[in-house]
Structure 1
């Protein structure tokens, strides 16, 4: 089963850019399809492969920053090729 995940990582500190950059670089280095925009990052792949990867990367981010928030939306389908039809 393929899924699409939208992630927004928000460190609650003054120096917020570096943890975000490190998180996105880890996602980019994965074997999964990763798309970015100014507000979030999307990752696409098989559920049983993506979820353990995301779990580990979120845990790493949480261990490296004292106060941090992650928003995640999960859709059951691969939406990486979505194009508006309007």
Structure 2
């Protein structure tokens, strides 16, 4: 089953950039399809593979920060090729 996941990582601390950069770099190296914009990161792939990578990387980045939030949306389909038709 293919899924699309939108992630917004928000460290609640002054020195927030290193953990965000680390997380995005790990996502890029995961072998999954990863798209980024200034507000979020989208990850696309097989459910089991995506969730395995996210479980590992979310734990690692949470250990890097004192406090933080991660917003996640999951869609059951691969939306990586989405283009607006308007």
Q: TM-score range by the shorter chain?
A: over 0.9
Q: CA deviation at 1:32?
A: 0.4
1:8-52, CA deviations, whole angstroms, 9 ceiling, x for partnerless residues? 110000011111000000001111000000000000000011101
> Structure 1 residue 65 and structure 2 residue 82: aligned?
no
Structure 2 alignment gaps of length 5 or more: none
Task: List gaps (5 residues or longer) in structure 1.
Answer: none
Q: Deviations over 1:31-79 (max 9, x none)?
A: 1000000000000000011101101100001111110110000000000
Q: Structure 1 runs of 4+ off > 6 angstroms?
A: none
TM-score, length of structure 2 as denominator length: 0.98
Q: Normalised by the size of structure 1, how large is the TM-score?
A: 0.98
Q: How does 1:31-50 map to 2 (within 5 A)?
A: 31-50=31-50
Alignment: residue pair count: 86
